[in-house]
Structures are given as structure tokens and as C-alpha cells.
């Protein structure tokens, strides 16, 4: 069975969302934690990070949905989607099982345990981990540029 083609418009739109959100988040790298905590910057940053992570996993789900899998092999959660991207060599396994898996966990925390997220941890992620989102985008761009290397077609 041949893979269904990837939808280029979906991939490009989700990449644009991630990149725009990263651009917005990068503005918070220029301020101190003290400034970050005393305004609404926390809420704004949380919004953009959640949007970026949702776009990462929307895009990832789209890619995985185009791989013909046997019943029971289809990943059902964000963490299993991250692992599947590495297993199927869409992104390096080390990235899938490291930063992408952490992104999946953090996305779940933001949605289900939002009351536990602190200003400090959000600020730390913005200061130290935005590069992981950019790296993810670079892997997807390689897929778009040379889909045949990954066993895909793009329409």
C-alpha cells in the first residue's frame, strides 16, 4: 500500500504558525524574569507557546496519518506521535525521544495541568528551549523539500 500524499498547504501553514509564535516568544527573551512576572507577559507567552506546540503536533499527526500502519500501530497520543516520528525516520530518533517527547509532555501539562505552570518555568523555556521548536521546523522543511527521501509524496 502506498502512502497518502502529504498536504503541502497544511505543512506550510503549521510551520508558519510555529515560526510566528517563536518570533513572538523571542521578544520575552529580552526582558528580565522580574519584568516578565509583573505584567501580563506570562499569559501572553503561555498563549504563544501553547499555539506553537499545538501546531507541532497537528503537523506531526498529519505526517503520521500518511504512513500506512497496521491496526494497533497508529499512535494515539502526543507522546506516541513523537516517538513514531523517530521510529519512521521522519526526524532523528534522538530528537524524537528527547526534545519532541518533552514538548508533548509540556503541551499536555499546558492543557490539562495549566494551574501548575509557573512564571519561572515558562520563562526558562522561552530563554533556553525555543531552539527546539526551530530545529523541529528545520526537519519538516527537509521533508517538504525532499519528500521522496522519506517515502512521501506532496500535493
Query: Would you say residue 2 has pLDDT above 70?
Result: no
Q: What is the pLDDT of residues 70-109, one digit of tens each?
A: 877 889 899 999 999 999 999 999 999 999 999 999 999 9
| Residue from 123, 128, 130 nearest 34 by CA | 123
Residue-range domains of the chain with CATH: 8-146 (1.20.120.580)
Q: What is the pLDDT of residues 20-56, one digit of tens each?
A: 999 999 999 999 999 999 888 999 999 999 999 999 9
Amino acid at each position: 500500500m502506498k502512502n497518502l500524499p502529504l498536504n503541502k498547504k497544511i505543512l506550510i501553514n503549521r510551520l508558519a504558525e510555529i515560526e510566528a509564535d517563536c518570533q513572538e516568544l523571542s521578544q520575552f527573551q529580552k526582558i528580565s524574569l522580574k519584568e516578565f512576572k509583573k505584567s501580563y507577559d506570562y499569559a501572553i507567552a503561555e498563549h504563544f507557546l501553547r499555539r506553537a506546540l499545538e501546531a507541532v503536533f497537528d503537523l506531526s499527526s498529519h505526517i503520521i496519518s500518511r504512513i500506512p500502519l497496521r491496526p494497533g500501530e497508529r499512535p494515539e497520543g502526543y507522546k506516541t506521535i513523537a516517538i513514531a516520528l523517530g521510529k519512521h525516520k521522519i526526524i532523528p530518533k534522538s530528537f524524537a525521544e528527547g526534545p519532541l517527547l518533552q514538548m508533548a509532555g509540556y503541551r499536555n501539562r499546558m492543557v490539562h495541568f495549566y494551574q501548575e505552570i509557573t512564571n519561572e518555568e515558562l520563562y526558562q523555556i522561552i530563554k533556553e528551549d525555543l531552539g527546539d521548536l526551530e530545529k523541529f521546523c528545520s526537519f519538516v522543511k527537509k521533508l517538504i523539500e525532499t519528500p521522496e527521501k522519506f517515502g512521501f509524496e506532496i500535493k
